[in-house]
Amino acid sequence: MYSSDEISYFNTIKTPFYYYKMEYFKNNLEKIKNAAGKYGYVVHYAMKANANDKLLGIIKDFGFGADCVSGNEVQKAIDLGFKPKEIAFAGVGKSDFEINLALDNDIFSFNCESIQELEIIDEFAAKKGKIAQIALRINPNVNANTHHYITTGLEENKFGINRWEFDKIIELLKSKKNIHLIGIHFHIGSQITDLDVFKNLCIRVNEIQKYFTENHILLEHINVGGGLGVDYEHPDKDDFPDFEAFFRLFDRFLELRSGQKLHFEIGRAMVAQAGDLITRVLFVKNGINTNFAIVDAGMTELIRPALYQAYHKIENITSKEGIDFYDVVGPICESSDTFGKTVQMTETKRGDLIAIRTIGAYGEVMASRYNLRDLAKSYYSDEIE
């Protein structure tokens, strides 16, 4: 998995740290670009998955747009050279400051989630003498069959505009002169590995499109969001996710009207497999059922297991002998600070290096300084001395 050069390099730097495999990362971007390019689809990178400057710079150079969920993300995208006309701004709670920032930068689209938000953007745009491009984020009521904390497209979720509000919105749009409807937007959840879920989304989008056509509203853009999942069980498999199959499915099932552009906002699937969290074993002690391997990374570096009971593959990368079971836990004063229970690993002792795999998405970007810990640094395979 790692070369001996990499392991020697790891031994010279302070643990824990994030390690990004740049060749893998660029190959993955290439695959997405080619697969989407076949159909002329526009791919935005959902910046919230990982806002690391170096990765963002490469994503921008590949020609992807940005999907932002905060004013600071919009600002960062612009600072790093993403074109404002390729920036979508989503989020159920945009602050006044954030709306004004996005207006000042003439971004591609505000993805709006409530009637009140539409009214406020119109009011602020009028003050600046601008016309803001907006898309309606619609709640399609499609079950993403994923963890309930990362399901967003059901009527019970806080996200999006529900079907029963459409008539009122159409009326509102007629009277508001400083917002211009350019499209509709969806995002139904994350870590979706069953492509049938996206097929259901396509079917719902087709139905919703009919409503707009019947109301003589032409939508230039359809944005189906992100959510494509990765294989956390098999971090070294590189034929998954299957981007070809993913985009082909939309080509087959989503009925685009002529001149319409289809947009995607891919976060996790762009970056997840490119990164690992490398940590050192501090102590090993006996528990009732298994041993505890206490490592120097905690939920402060990777919160997904504590937050969503997420699975990450864990491997001892320096010990080759024996086999045993360990609860791999961090040093933070919380019982949820556990990366994995009864993890089978080679015989593990103080000083060994452990890799927690597939942390490129929602890893580094969710780091915190809880317990006043230092933020972990990032290292890159193409910068190894």
Applying CB under 6 A, which residues contact ligand PLP? 46, 48-49, 67, 69, 90, 187, 190, 225-228, 265-269, 361
CB-wise, 187 or 304, nearer to ligand PLP?
A: 187
Burial class (CB in 10 A: 0-12, 13-18, 19+), 339: buried
CB-wise, 45 or 212, nearer to ligand PLP?
A: 45
CB-wise, 44 or 357, nearer to ligand PLP?
A: 44
First to last CA, the chain: 19
Tell me the closest approach of the beta carbon of residue 228 to ligand PLP, in angstroms. Answer: 6
Tell me the closest approach of the beta carbon of residue 246 to ligand PLP, in angstroms. Answer: 11
CA distance 278 to 378: 10
* Structure-block tokens of residue 288: 């009732």
CA distance 189 to 175: 33
- Cβ atoms of residues 254 and 205 within 8 Å: yes
- Cβ atoms of residues 249 and 90 within 8 Å: no
Tell me the closest approach of the beta carbon of residue 92 to ligand PLP, in angstroms. Answer: 9
Tell me the closest approach of the beta carbon of residue 185 to ligand PLP, in angstroms. Answer: 7
User: For 86-98, b where at least 16 C-beta lie within 10 A, e where not — what string?
Assistant: bbbbbbbebeeeb
Tell me the closest approach of the beta carbon of residue 164 to ligand PLP, in angstroms. Answer: 22
CA distance 200 to 142: 7
CB-wise, 153 or 330, nearer to ligand PLP?
A: 153
Tell me the closest approach of the beta carbon of residue 69 to ligand PLP, in angstroms. Answer: 5
CA distance 107 to 134: 10
